[in-house]
Structure 1
Amino acid sequence: MIHLTIEALRPFEEATREVSAEKHVSVSKVIPLVSLLLRAAAATERQGSSLATELALQCQRRFRGIETFHSLAASTFLDIRFKNLAFRDRDNVETMKKRMLTEMQEVHQPTSESPPPGSTSAPVPSSASAPMPRFASPVTPASTPSSAPATAKGGIWADFDIQVLSAQQHRSTGTDALIEMRRYLEEKLIPRDQDPLHWWQEHEQTFPSLSRLAAKYLGFIASSVPSERIFSKAGELVSQRRNRLKGENVNMLLFLNKNL
């Protein structure tokens, strides 16, 4: 009986330690941990543990719609250790991806006038002394036609140039976001003990829009655990034998104890 109780509670202890971390990303682990807790509770339930049965029922009741919370779903998807592998319902993944594509277009809008990082388009030379493009026609400056666009002259190409400009602007938002997400989905998962923030720092230029969303969603779970740890340390520092410490000295000792 005690053995089954320990086996039923052990996964919950491990999950609590995972989400109580302070120095690593923890919010992206919520959905994977809920899925693992449900599996562990079901496995222990098959061994005849009534506690595991109750734990499984409570998990189903409390975490039934956890994948529909966009902040949690987005953080899990943007964690290169998990992506969409940790979701139990694929419909929730598609819903989250549609909303994320919209967010990618929104973060891309302010920089739509400038070429995105990694773009293959070359800058336009600002003066006649600039080097000639690799595949430019060898014409003399005197025979070079005016560089003014046809739209400014109202020529026969005016309507076509407007269509091209509209297509370029459309591609710079929706199409580029979709291509960027597909490339991210093709990336290999990294080991679970590695830091996803470090990965995003290295691939920021490759995924300019997704990297901004990763900085927004990859964070820590707000809880009282850090403050409780500090109070526990304070109780160890200030005891009956050390009750004459000044408040400022206690603060310095707590700071050193916590950060060294």
Structure 2
Amino acid sequence: MQKKLDEPILKLKQDVPTRWNSTCDMFKRFLKTKHSVMSTLAIDYPDVDNMNTDDIQILESTTEILSLFKDVTVILISNALKKKCTSFLTVTRPATVARMTETLSNEMTTRFASIEDNYIFSESTLLDPRFKKYGFLHEFAYDRTCDNLKALAGRIQIESQQYAVPEPTNSSPPSKRKGSIWDEFDQQVGDILKNTNPTAGGIIEVDKYLEEPLLPRSQDPAKWWLSKKRCVPQVSQILFLNFNL
């Protein structure tokens, strides 16, 4: 039938109970092949109830809301998804779709009500340079995660050399005058680097990271962290050790 109607040759898809996004994929594929499917049913299976305009409208509207849930499979943004569901219902929808959306929204509230209490979720959200504070629904959860992150970073020991600025590579090192005016200054700086308080360093690094501009959502956060590894070594170690980045 697809060949007769000069349409792309596409197979139908069947949803799978253990893959909740598969329902969205199934509906999308049916909508792409609806003319061929409905024609086949009308000609070859006249006793089977065919799709009507209302059915198509329900499928189109259902696919619209399910697509939003599919978009946030990789990164859970429950707050944004909740708002999208509310916005979706401001437009007149088929009663079946409206009830389904309300059920999805309520289930999401129930299942993810305490998601920000999960330290893996909250810390990974804060350490994602695309989201940081804006990935949190509650201010107190964000503040608590910042404190936890600073404490965690403060327990990580980093060699002082990682903070040092690389010296120019010359064929021969510059000669150092005996009794140079910089001797005392260099000694003080060396002592500071050698005796840096890890706890204070962790606080400074987290604050420094949070002041960085947000990374565009389309860019890779792992690559961003690799480029910043030497700038905030204690915080970077949290990712590379705790999250196996």
Number of paired residues? 168
**CA–CA separation in structure 2 for the residues paired with 1:179 and 1:59:** 36
- Cα shift readout 1:152-173 (whole Å, capped 9, x = no counterpart): xxxxxxxxxxxxx9xx85x522
* Counterpart contact for 2:122–2:145, Cα < 8 Å: yes
**CA–CA separation in structure 2 for the residues paired with 1:182 and 1:39:** 29
Query: What amino acid does structure 1 have at the position aligned with 2:231?
Result: T
3-state SS of 1:206 partner: coil
Counterpart position of 1:38: 82
Give me the identity figure in percent: 22
**CA–CA separation in structure 2 for the residues paired with 1:192 and 1:46:** 27
Aligned residue runs from structure 1 range 153-164, under 5 A: none
Counterpart position of 2:181: 135
Confirm or deny that 1:92 pairs with 2:141.
yes
Confirm or deny that 1:4 pairs with 2:61.
yes
Counterpart position of 2:162: 117
Confirm or deny that 1:13 pairs with 2:58.
no
Q: TM-score, normalised by structure 1?
A: 0.57
* Counterpart contact for 1:8–1:51, Cα < 8 Å: no
Counterpart position of 1:192: 217
Report the RMSD for the aligned CA atoms in angstroms.
Answer: 3.0
CA, structure 1 residues 65+219, in 2 after alignment: closer, same or farther (shift >3 Å)? farther
**CA–CA separation in structure 2 for the residues paired with 1:82 and 1:200:** 14
3-state SS of 2:68 partner: helix
Stretches of 4+ aligned residues off by more than 6 angstroms = none
* Counterpart contact for 1:4–1:44, Cα < 8 Å: no
Unpaired stretches in structure 2, ≥5 consecutive residues: 1-56, 93-97, 168-174
Q: TM-score, normalised by structure 2?
A: 0.60
CA, structure 1 residues 118+47, in 2 after alignment: closer, same or farther (shift >3 Å)? same
CA, structure 1 residues 217+200, in 2 after alignment: closer, same or farther (shift >3 Å)? same
Counterpart position of 2:232: 207
* Counterpart contact for 1:78–1:218, Cα < 8 Å: no
**CA–CA separation in structure 1 for the residues paired with 2:134 and 2:81:** 16
CA, structure 1 residues 61+208, in 2 after alignment: closer, same or farther (shift >3 Å)? same
CA, structure 1 residues 134+84, in 2 after alignment: closer, same or farther (shift >3 Å)? farther
Counterpart position of 1:224: none
Of residues 46-55 and 198-207 in structure 1, the stretch that sits farther from structure 2 once superposed is 46-55
CA, structure 1 residues 194+134, in 2 after alignment: closer, same or farther (shift >3 Å)? farther
Counterpart position of 2:121: 72
Deviation at 1:131, TM superposition (A): 2.3
Unpaired stretches in structure 1, ≥5 consecutive residues: 20-28, 123-129, 138-146, 148-164, 221-260
CA, structure 1 residues 46+208, in 2 after alignment: closer, same or farther (shift >3 Å)? same
